[in-house]
Amino acid sequence: MNTETLIPKLGVVTDIRIDTPDVKTFRVVGLDGKKVFEHMPGQCAMLSIPGVGEAMFSITSSPTNEDFMEFSIKKCGCLTNWLHAMDVGQQITIRGPYGNGFPVEGALKGKDLLFIAGGIGLAPLRSVINYVRDKRQNYGSIQIVYGSRSKEDLVDYQEILDEWMADEGIQVNLTIDRAQEGWDGHVGFVPNFVKELQPDLNKTVLLCGPPIMIKFTLEGLKELGFSETQVYTTMELRMKCGVGKCGRCNIGSKYVCKDGPVFRFDQLDELPNEY
Amino acid sequence: MQAAMISRAKELLQGGQVQRVLGWKTGEFVYDITPAVFQSVEELEAEFVYNDFCGNNLSKYLIKESRQPGKVLVFLKPCDTYSFNQLVKEHRILRDNVYVIGVPCEGKTDGETLKAAGVRGILGLQAQGDRFLVETLYGSQELEKAQALPERCQNCKSKKHVAYDELMGEEGQVLQSGRFDMVEKLEAMTPDERFNFWRGELSRCIRCNACRNVCPACSCEKCVFDNDNSGVAQKAAANSFEENMFHIIRAFHVAGRCTDCGECSRVCPQNIPLHLLNRKFIKDIDTFYGDYQAGEDTESRAPLTNYTEGDVEPSIVYQRGGN
Amino acid sequence: MQKLSLSKLDQFLEAMAAHQALYLPVEDHSGQAKFQRWAPGVQLSSTLNTVRSAKDFFFPQTEDLVNFKLRGKEIEIIDPRTEHEDFVVFGVRGCDARSFTILDKVFLADPVDTYYQSRREHGTIVSLACTRPEETCFCTSFGIDPTCPQGDVTCWMEGDALYLTANTPKGEALLAQVADLTEACGDEAVKAQQERVSAILKKLPLANFSTKSFGGQVLMEVFDSEKWGTLSESCLGCGTCTFVCPTCQCYDIKDMDTGHGVQRFRCWDSCMYSDFTRMAHGNPRLTQKERFRQRFMHKLVYFPANNNGEYGCVGCGRCLSKCPISMNIVKVAKALEGDCK
């Protein structure tokens, strides 16, 4: 752990990919061309443009990527607007990694995995998906259920088509909220789609998306017979320090930045519903 | 008075004329009174209090309370009624949803004022005529009430209620007070002396926002100092300029609307005499536009939001030598 | 134990100030005390406590974290820190002295906050035993003995003398600086004072106040209490309680564009403020009720849950004196006690 945790390091943006009308994926390396630091899937980093703001983002690239880190960022506030407007070559500040990450080397090892994501919620899961793809022998089956408002709003669509769907032994189920021309896939909301798909009950679920989607998907999973101890999610609250000291990202006695952002639903059950 | 107030509140609650009562609630000690909404006769009997420590101005709570279902009964002291009127005038309080009972006030003290008067370890207090008998951990102490009252009550501007549906006790009069004496002293200072006086005071500010949040005139839905996009939304004053700016902007914003209720100075944990900034504006408005008391009525146009041909020109600042 | 004649108090302060910066409680013209740097002529206040707590010395209200210079697409990172000077804080009361232990648990926990740590290393605490506790005091509820406060050096002022004892190597080093002025003595006078003050402590109105029913074990019970609405109904949402509190340590990090670069500073923040948890996509604590609840849950439940049962309060009574609406931890704890089961 960097001992000067509040003093960031410098990174430079080497590539900007337009994912959707409001999501871009930024590739970041250190000034020496190497990764700024190592991380585990599900961990986050504080990115900042001095004078504009600093905020926590999940690292969407897999740690198995040895060349760079990536961040898929949705435009929704002051800092993210600025990031969306910048060009390749821009330096940014970066500190981290923060948080616990998904237990890819622990509880998830050897398990059949079901990833369920909605919209930008795919960002933190992409890190895990590519990690388990690269360490395929350590995990069981992989199923990915992903939905967005429209085809254009599917993040990482090209990667999904070219890589994930091309992988043998990975089942990818895509859905969009409303029918549109040029889409012959499934139409409907993620929670209903999951119920229709009737996934095996022995799977371990990694769930991320907008709060309302998480709520109904979890309910659907429980109806299917899944237990809360099988379902992981990752949380996001306002953060300033990233190390459990500035005092604002707590859910009950747990700090999302330090004790999370990854929680199992049975752990969240013991905490107040204040998120 | 307290017993009569409880009994009248019970009547109105039980009769269905009002659904809630906004008043003051007892605390741990004799002085730590909290504004409270009472929903039932039982709550009133158990906790309602009206004594020498009920200084909190309840008018600002009516912005929210008058928007709740039903009608709320509120007890207002004379100076609170000025804030009430001003908020009604600004359409912040829905007048029809409020039943106002005016209650008399002989000045309200508070724990901090007693401590400043040298009383420590307060266990109990009794008012006897113009004296307070205070029981403390270290023996009994007797104080002249006039000395144990905060400045705003020592210089009370009015014992008259300017708004009420019903009055309890005897109606008082608008008073001649010495409330501008200190402003005159400040005006008589040289600019450097005056600047040093205010630096001495404002440098103690911890930006807790208590003055703003308690102020009945500070009723903006979103304050500029809470707006990240304003560029001034700092939670701590980074330098002396920011310390001054917060209070000066606030004084300007409440100018012509401040009724001089004195809550800003009461709540300041650092005892900064914030009311003096507001009084300077009040005094100048009186001088330039004729005597004007904000909150005296709900109809008249305030001098700063009205135009007349006789209005002073900005050059008055130079004519008065910068004062 | 060492003894210093109070007639030599000025010499004593001067001797300490010759070696390092010396801060002590001093009264301002409004009659309230604050910690101020000693200089010849500065008088020690006789008031019980300062308005602002002693936390400022280690966790100041604002502090520069890092500076940036921006040139086109390039950023330069500048660590603005210079070595802190050594300093002594004289006259810290038992409550504030304990607050450092609580702050340490936050700032010195991994990863260490090096800004705080550096100040802690450079500071020496000289605590002063209380002789005239007030009705708002309840430090004894948290196992604090105000007649024998913790610190590098503990002092007692009794009669015409100041009695001193060092508790740490730092404290011994400090007393060595003033050894010429002090003489060894017995502890009879101190014992007598402690007995006298202990008797007063037992008579305090909050002597029997306890937070023992609270803690991590009743998290949901307390959180779900129906009383939060009433308790918070007249809360103004100001930051007075948090800013005068010796254990409140939440902070914000902000950038200021100075025109020559960007200063990133941290400043005290308050969970009572509406923007504390506001994000681009919403706010998990929408009304004052949730914000108010957070403050007391933190002190009575969350902090003990994470720190072996230790509460985030030292009973200094500042919030009791200073809250504009007189709502405070004592009233809250008493009201919620019944929900702790």
pLDDT tens for each residue of C46-59: 899 999 999 999 99
**Closest of A9, A36, A44 to residue A256, by C-alpha:** A44
DSSP lists the bridge partners of residue B139 as B136
Q: Give the chains touching C; criterion: ≥3 Cβ pairs < 8 Å.
A: A, B
- Which residues on C lie below 8 Å from B119 (Cβ)? none
pLDDT tens for each residue of C208-217: 999 999 999 9
Q: What angle do CA A166, A169, A173 make, to 5 degrees?
A: 70
How close B319 comes to chain C (CA, Å)?
Answer: 34
Interface-testing mutation among C243, C253, C258, C279, with chain B (most B C-beta atoms within 10 A): C243
pTM, entire model: 0.94
pLDDT tens for each residue of C110-151: 999 999 999 999 999 999 999 999 999 999 999 999 999 999
Q: What angle do CA A246, B207, C300 make, to 5 degrees?
A: 45
CB C135 to CB B137 under 8 A?
yes
Percent of chain C with pLDDT over 70: 100
Q: Where are the strands (E) in chain A, listed by range?
A: 9-20, 23-30, 44-49, 53-58, 69-74, 91-98, 113-118, 142-148, 170-176, 186-187, 204-208, 231-234, 250-251, 254-255, 262-264
CB C240 to CB B116 under 8 A?
no
- Which residues on B lie below 8 Å from C243 (Cβ)? 206-208, 269
Closest residue of chain A to C259, computed from CA coordinates: A51
Length of chain A measured in residues: 275
CB C253 to CB A245 under 8 A?
no
pLDDT, position A36? 95
- Which residues on A lie below 8 Å from C242 (Cβ)? none
Separation between Cα atoms, residue C225 and residue C336, nearest integer Å: 7
With an 8 Å Cβ cutoff, is C126 touching chain B? no
CB C330 to CB B28 under 8 A?
yes
With an 8 Å Cβ cutoff, is C180 touching chain B? no
Q: Cα dist. A59→A66, A71, A258 in Å?
A: 14, 5, 15
CB C205 to CB B29 under 8 A?
yes
Of C106, C220, C284, the CB nearest to A275: C284
CB C132 to CB B35 under 8 A?
no
Neighbouring CB atoms inside 10 A of B261's CB total 29
pLDDT tens for each residue of A235-272: 989 999 999 999 999 999 999 999 999 999 999 998 99
CB C236 to CB B226 under 8 A?
no
The residues of chain B scoring below 50 in pLDDT are none
How close B320 comes to chain C (CA, Å)?
Answer: 30
**DSSP, residue by residue, B72-137:** EEEEE-HHHHHHHHHHHHTT-S-GGGEEEEE---S----HHHHHHTT--SEEEEEEETTEEEEEET
CB B210 to CB C203 under 8 A?
no
With an 8 Å Cβ cutoff, is C131 touching chain B? no
Separation between Cα atoms, residue B312 and residue B294, nearest integer Å: 19
DSSP lists the bridge partners of residue A55 as A47
Rg (CA), chain B: 21
Closest residue of chain C to B123, computed from CA coordinates: C135
CB A209 within 8 A of CB C281: no
Q: Give the chains touching A; criterion: ≥3 Cβ pairs < 8 Å.
A: C
What's the 3-state SS for B168-198?
CCCCCCECCCCCCHHHHHHHHCCHHHHHHHH
pLDDT tens for each residue of C322-341: 999 999 999 999 999 999 87
Determine how β-strand C262-268 pairs with β-strand C62-71.
antiparallel
With an 8 Å Cβ cutoff, is A5 touching chain C? yes
B266: alpha, beta or left? (left if phi > 0; alpha if psi -120 to 50): alpha
Of C250, C257, C306, the CB nearest to A51: C257
CB A190 within 8 A of CB A175: yes
CB A269 within 8 A of CB A107: no
Q: ipTM of this predicted complex?
A: 0.94
Which residues numbered 8-37 in C keep a CB inside 8 Å of some CB on B? 28-32, 34
Separation between Cα atoms, residue C6 and residue C160, nearest integer Å: 5
With an 8 Å Cβ cutoff, is A238 touching chain C? yes
pLDDT tens for each residue of C266-286: 999 999 998 899 887 789 999
Separation between Cα atoms, residue B131 and residue B122, nearest integer Å: 16
**Averaged pLDDT of chain C:** 95
- Which residues on A lie below 8 Å from C280 (Cβ)? 76-77, 80
How close C135 comes to chain B (CA, Å)?
Answer: 5
pLDDT, position A211? 86
How close B33 comes to chain C (CA, Å)?
Answer: 6
Determine how β-strand B72-76 pairs with β-strand B98-102.
parallel
- Which residues on C lie below 8 Å from B116 (Cβ)? 30-31
Helix, strand and coil in chain B, % to nearest 5: 40, 15, 45
pLDDT, position B228? 77
CB contact burial C119-135 (16+ within 10 A = b; e otherwise): bbebbbbbbbbbbebbb
With an 8 Å Cβ cutoff, is C66 touching chain B? no
Interface-testing mutation among B31, B108, B198, B213, with chain C (most C C-beta atoms within 10 A): B213
**Closest of A97, A73, A94 to residue A29, by C-alpha:** A94
Separation between Cα atoms, residue B284 and residue B295, nearest integer Å: 17
pLDDT, position A1? 39
Separation between Cα atoms, residue C100 and residue B63, nearest integer Å: 41
CB B269 to CB C269 under 8 A?
no
- Which residues on C lie below 8 Å from A271 (Cβ)? 219
CB C113 to CB A6 under 8 A?
yes
Chains A and C form CB pairs within 8 A to the count of 122
With an 8 Å Cβ cutoff, is C236 touching chain B? yes
pLDDT, position A3? 65
CB C132 to CB B267 under 8 A?
no
- Written as tens digits, the pLDDT of chain A (275 aa) is 346 889 999 999 999 999 999 999 999 999 999 999 999 999 999 999 999 999 999 999 999 999 999 999 999 888 999 999 999 999 999 999 999 999 999 999 999 999 999 999 999 999 999 999 999 999 999 999 999 999 999 998 888 888 898 888 899 999 999 999 999 999 999 999 999 999 999 999 999 999 889 999 999 999 999 999 999 999 989 999 999 999 999 999 999 999 999 999 999 998 998 88
pLDDT, position A205? 96
CB C238 to CB B111 under 8 A?
no
- Which residues on A lie below 8 Å from C285 (Cβ)? 274
Containing H/E element for A224? helix A211-224
Alpha carbon C42 to its chain centroid, in Å, reads 23
CB C111 to CB A93 under 8 A?
no
Residues 6+ apart with CB under 8 A from A234: A42, A58, A102, A124, A208, A260, A261, A262, A263
CB B236 to CB C61 under 8 A?
yes
Residue B301 has what DSSP assignment?
A: P
